[in-house]
Amino acid sequence: MKKLLSFAILTVLLLTAVGCSKDNETIKIGVSGTDNRIWDFVAKKAEKEGLDIEIVSFSDYVQPNLALAQKELDANAFQTISYFEAFINEHNLDLTPIATTVIAPMGLYSEKYENVEDIPEGGKIAVPNEATNMGRAFLLLQDAGLITLPEDFDGNGSLDKIVENPKNLEIVPVVAGQTPRVLPDVAASIINNGIAVDAGFNPTEDSIFHEDDTATPYINIIAVRTEDKNREDLQKLAQLYQEDDVKEFIEKEYKGSTIPTFVPLSEIGVDTEAE
């Protein structure tokens, strides 16, 4: 009888352990920067669905993709579709987007001038030194009327792609994370949204010029390893992110500096036929 009782207790304990592990799957999400408000909100929702979210922060735009490819993460959410496509091609990584998230407007900031028109002849403009972010910065400078790019501009930045530079601006490429720190030394600096927020800026209020919400190549995504693109827990996570309460939270919390953009992947040029 004692043996039967012990066996029954052991069975219950084993079933409980299995049930707990199944109901509390941990998903590691890689992000860049320290502003995790959206993911903290999503994590609380996910917990009710039996998903534990662990947020892993990185200080650059390189390691989150490498860590995902090396199976140190389950997903990441920090990059635009434009940057993602260029990065995985350059590094030959087998990663795939599973959902769109937000547009985080890139902005032009200055400690010396309040308007784009005030930037003087020969002024220094700091831009991110990575090709896709530099290309994005160039498009912003073109929209601001400061430079002209070729009609067939491919989105990848290099100094020789500037066709016209009427103010003879000195374009200074720097590591993206340094773009706020060089503000005292330049006429203006183009700063990625997440880096700007970490530096204490509101992109729509503190920049002298910024992107609008029609910048399709710069919609952010959730990325996973291609082999995991149909994983039930990751698909559930993407679904939770794109619900109305998350949209409302972003709009209230960020006041336009980050814009929820839950469009189908096909609208940003991702082939979804195999998904």
In a domain, 2, yes or no: no
At 165 the three-state DSSP class reads: coil
Considering the domain architecture, whether residues 118 and 100 belong to the same structural domain is answered as no
- Find the Cα–Cα–Cα–Cα dihedral 174, 179, 185, 187, rounded to 10°: 100
pLDDT in tens, the chain (275 residues): 544 444 444 444 444 444 443 455 799 999 998 889 999 999 999 999 999 999 999 999 999 999 999 999 999 999 999 889 989 999 999 999 999 999 988 999 999 999 999 999 999 999 999 888 899 999 999 999 999 999 999 888 999 999 999 999 999 999 999 999 999 999 999 999 889 988 999 888 899 999 876 678 889 999 999 999 999 999 999 999 999 999 999 999 988 888 899 999 998 888 776 54
In this structure, what CATH number is given to the domain that contains residue 58?
Answer: 3.40.190.10
Considering the domain architecture, whether residues 173 and 239 belong to the same structural domain is answered as no
> What phi and psi, each to the nearest 5 degrees, are found at residue 151?
-65, -30
Considering the domain architecture, whether residues 245 and 203 belong to the same structural domain is answered as no
Considering the domain architecture, whether residues 244 and 232 belong to the same structural domain is answered as yes
- pLDDT (0 to 100) of residue 204: 84
Considering the domain architecture, whether residues 223 and 199 belong to the same structural domain is answered as no
The residue out of 192, 210, 228 marking a domain boundary is 210
Considering the domain architecture, whether residues 241 and 111 belong to the same structural domain is answered as no
Considering the domain architecture, whether residues 204 and 111 belong to the same structural domain is answered as yes
Cβ contacts of 252 within 8 Å, gap of 6 or more: none
Considering the domain architecture, whether residues 101 and 69 belong to the same structural domain is answered as yes
Tell me the C-alpha distance between 101 and 221, whole Å: 5
At 237 the three-state DSSP class reads: helix
The residue out of 210, 225, 249 marking a domain boundary is 210
The residue out of 165, 194, 210 marking a domain boundary is 210
User: Contact 220/102 with Cβ under 8 angstroms?
Assistant: yes
Closest CA to 234 of 53, 70, 48: 53
In a domain, 202, yes or no: yes
User: Contact 32/63 with Cβ under 8 angstroms?
Assistant: no
The parent domain of residue 255 ranges over 23-105+216-268
User: Contact 202/194 with Cβ under 8 angstroms?
Assistant: no
User: Contact 105/210 with Cβ under 8 angstroms?
Assistant: yes
- pLDDT (0 to 100) of residue 213: 65
Considering the domain architecture, whether residues 93 and 220 belong to the same structural domain is answered as yes
In a domain, 7, yes or no: no
Considering the domain architecture, whether residues 202 and 113 belong to the same structural domain is answered as yes
Considering the domain architecture, whether residues 186 and 111 belong to the same structural domain is answered as yes
219 sits in which H/E element: strand 219-225
In a domain, 18, yes or no: no
139 sits in which H/E element: helix 131-143
Tell me the C-alpha distance between 173 and 189, whole Å: 10
**R_g (Cα) of the chain, nearest Å:** 22
| Total number of domains constituting the chain | 2
Considering the domain architecture, whether residues 132 and 91 belong to the same structural domain is answered as no
In a domain, 15, yes or no: no
